[in-house]
Amino acid sequence: MSQKWMLKPGEGPDSLRLVDLPPEPLSSGSVRVALKAWSLNARDFMVAHGQSPVPVAPELIPLSDAAGIVEEVANDVVRVRVGDRVVVTFNPAHQSGSFEPHMAAHAHGEMAQGLLARERVVDQMAVVKLTDNLTLEQAACLPCAAVTVWNALFEAGPLFPGQTVLATGTGTISLTAMQLAKAAGARFGITSSDPAKLEKAMQLGADFGVNYRKRPDWDVAVKEATDGKGADVVLETAGPPSVATAVRAAAQNGRVAQIGLKAMDGPAISMLDLMLSGVRVVPIMVGSRVMLERVVAAASVNALNIPVEESFPFADAHAAFYAAASGTGFGKIVISN
Ligand SMILES: NC(=O)c1ccc[n+]([C@@H]2O[C@H](COP(=O)([O-])OP(=O)(O)OC[C@H]3O[C@@H](n4cnc5c(N)ncnc54)[C@H](OP(=O)(O)O)[C@@H]3O)[C@@H](O)[C@H]2O)c1
């Protein structure tokens, strides 16, 4: 028998229950992964509370992000071997290129079953082999947040050394962006409502910080911090309410990667601002298996050290979900075996 956590979306983390089910059978091209580390994302909390903007299954194994060890492979598997350390992709249907609507139903932990289980059987194309310098805990932080950041920084347009990246808020997207942007030789700015979090971000390598509560005109503050230029790439994580400000914080011909889903309504972006500034607003929908491979390759050269706020044992899934919900933390909530 194999243990899995089951969640009833809309009924909150209290609906989580641990069930023992027979092991899933292997089919052609599939691999059995003994999962050892998981991480939570904002979307898992939204799924649990019935706040997901996309359809979700009535009952499901939650979570999209997990890493582990290949335990068994079907006869025709060529990409990995038993004993390999691997990370599972966010959406097995998104292998490369741009996101397409038919892929939506396949993201783990929404319509498709997720990964908060002792083991899962997945297609060989849904795993990426890890390099030695990535711990399973760090690898479990990559499939959603790091791939989203990678997509925004390097696939949605170029990022050159010496350019400036700005990320809004000190959520896990922004803290991951700091690691990848600094590794690429960029200058990195961050916004927060909390001076203590700004201080921590500066200690971890941010070049400038802006308190968006004290400075509702944070676009002006970003221009002040960049000699009037603005940020070449803005990772906008708050959602539509701050996109218009993010466009004004961007440099001439820069880009705003639209990532946040927290609030869906906000002030209209001025078309004149867009035309005069040449700023491109690019929607980001996580990313592909190829992008996850690129993140892992990048991490093998410049070690990633994504901040972890707290780590819980597998048996304490409820506590992990509540910790992820608080919004007061600084770093990933991880579950580890
Ligand atoms: N499009 C995609 O593919 C994709 C992928 C992953 C995540 N997301 C979305 O991206 C968002 C961020 O994800 P996350 O994992 O970083 O979430 P998170 O860890 O829950 O981030 C929470 C942080 O957001 C910041 N925040 C809240 N309201 C804000 C505002 N009005 N202005 C600026 N910052 C604000 C706060 O920072 P301070 O406490 O520092 O103020 C808060 O700590 C979520 O909406 C998530 O659903 C989208």
Name the DSSP letter for residue 126: G
Q: Is 327 in the pocket of ligand 1 (CB under 6 A)?
A: yes
Query: ∠ at Cα 235 (230, 236), nearest 5°?
Result: 100
Q: Tens-digit pLDDT profile for the chain (337 aa)?
A: 899 999 999 999 999 999 999 999 999 999 999 999 999 999 999 999 999 988 999 999 999 999 999 999 999 999 999 999 999 999 999 999 999 999 999 999 999 999 999 999 999 999 999 999 999 999 999 999 999 999 999 999 999 999 999 999 999 999 999 999 999 999 999 999 999 999 999 999 999 999 999 999 999 999 999 999 999 999 999 988 899 999 999 999 999 999 997 766 777 888 898 999 999 999 999 999 999 999 999 999 988 999 999 999 999 999 999 998 866 789 999 999 8
Domain CATH number, residue 246: 3.40.50.720
Identify the residue whose C-alpha is closest to ligand 1 atom 6: 145
What contacts 24+ positions apart, CB below 8 Å, involve 267-275? 267/241, 268/244, 269/243, 269/244, 270/244, 273/244, 273/247, 273/248, 274/247
Cα separation, 226 vs 220, in Å, equals 10
Q: How many CB atoms lie within 10 A of CB 96?
A: 10
In a domain, 107, yes or no: yes
Domain shared by 168 and 235, yes or no: yes
Cα separation, 313 vs 336, in Å, equals 5
In a domain, 110, yes or no: yes
Domain CATH number, residue 329: 3.90.180.10
Which residue out of 166, 211, 262 has the highest number of ligand 1 atoms within 8 Å of its CB and is therefore the one to mutate? 262
- Report helix, strand or coil for 250: strand
Cα 174 to middle of ligand 1, angstroms: 8
Indicate which atom in ligand 1 lies nearest the CA of residue 175. Answer: 16
Cα 327 to middle of ligand 1, angstroms: 9
Domain holding 72, by residue range, is 2-143+287-336
- Report helix, strand or coil for 258: strand
Q: Is 206 in the pocket of ligand 1 (CB under 6 A)?
A: no
Cα 238 to middle of ligand 1, angstroms: 5
pLDDT of residue 94: 98
End-to-end CA, the chain: 17
Domain shared by 203 and 320, yes or no: no
Closest of 279, 239, 228 to residue 256, by C-alpha: 279
Cα separation, 31 vs 72, in Å, equals 6
Strand segments, DSSP code E, in 74-185 are 85-88, 119-123, 127-129, 164-167
Q: Is 169 in the pocket of ligand 1 (CB under 6 A)?
A: yes
In a domain, 14, yes or no: yes
pLDDT of residue 326: 66
Closest of 251, 236, 94 to residue 163, by C-alpha: 251
Given its phi and psi angles, is residue 97 left (phi above 0), alpha (psi -120 to 50 degrees) or beta? Answer: left
In a domain, 151, yes or no: no
Contact between 306 and 146 (Cβ < 8 Å): yes
Domain shared by 194 and 326, yes or no: no
In a domain, 57, yes or no: yes
Domain shared by 108 and 75, yes or no: yes
Domain boundary at 267, 283, 299, which?
283
What's the structural domain count of the chain? Answer: 2
In a domain, 56, yes or no: yes
Q: Is 144 in the pocket of ligand 1 (CB under 6 A)?
A: yes
Indicate which atom in ligand 1 lies nearest the CA of residue 283. Answer: 1
Domain shared by 130 and 10, yes or no: yes
pLDDT of residue 262: 74
